[in-house]
Amino acid sequence: MIAMILAAGRGERLRPLTDSTPKSLVEIRGRSLLERHLVNIRHAGVETVVINLGWLGAEIVRRVGCGARYGLQVIYSQEGDNVLETGGGIHKALPLLGSEPFLVLNADIYTDMPIPAVELAADVVGHLVMVPTPAYRDHGDFDLQDGRIRNSRNPKLTFSGVAVYKPEFFDGCEAGRFPLAPMLRGAADAGRLSGETYAGLWADVGTMERLEALNRA
């Protein structure tokens, strides 16, 4: 399996820190979020990682290089100043991700979650790892019923930012900037997303307050 780490974002809510540091290189207890993911991915047996680059992407390349120090082959998908959001970023990287299901992780999460090992059913286009909805959020994203991701009026679970997708999930998408969330909603309505819940350590490092709390813990 090939993995992709979404690391192109600007990190507006972490400014001024992210004025000079890519969000994925923000450190918690002396190690960057991105490097934590790379180590975890390699421990799971993955050998190739695609990282999309946008804001301060050269800093990521300078830190990670070809990936050899992590025992990985790292390939970069350049987005430059035209950051393509989650859906567009994955779609642009598809030629690098191969013909088999691939893993996608948001760079800005902090977790000890094991990399999901899952065989996708024939009628499924993706598998999402869900977490209990954090207290700072008003509502969740989805529910999980009989192993399938479902939309509901009062969802209890939050998408962790860790998923496995079949390339065919992106069939019909056009190149350019677009979010992933509407695609996930549609696939959930069609019953084509499987899922699991992870109840261990997980945090969305989206604000300075959350970052400082993790560094104090």
Q: What is the CATH number of the domain that holds 72?
A: 3.90.550.10
Angle at 28 between CA 25 and CA 29, to 5 degrees: 130
Name, in order, each residue with C-beta under 8 angstroms of 203's C-beta and a sequence gap of 6 or more. Answer: 109, 110, 111, 134, 210, 214
Q: What pTM, to 2 d.p., does this model score?
A: 0.94
Q: Are 48 and 75 in contact (CB under 8 A)?
A: yes
Q: Give the pLDDT of residue 17.
A: 66
**Residue 183: enclosing H or E segment and its boundaries?**
helix 181-189
Q: Give the pLDDT of residue 190.
A: 97
Residue 33: name the closest of 5, 13, 57, 71 by CA: 5
Low-confidence ranges of the chain (pLDDT < 50): none
Residue 125: name the closest of 182, 173, 194 by CA: 194
| Whole-number Å distance between alpha carbons of 209 and 14 | 9
Name, in order, each residue with C-beta under 8 angstroms of 68's C-beta and a sequence gap of 6 or more. Answer: none
Q: Give the pLDDT of residue 12.
A: 74
State which residues form the domain around 40.
Answer: 2-216
Q: Give the pLDDT of residue 206.
A: 79
How many structural domains are present in the chain?
1
pLDDT tens digits along 19-60: 888 999 989 988 999 999 999 999 999 999 999 999 899 999
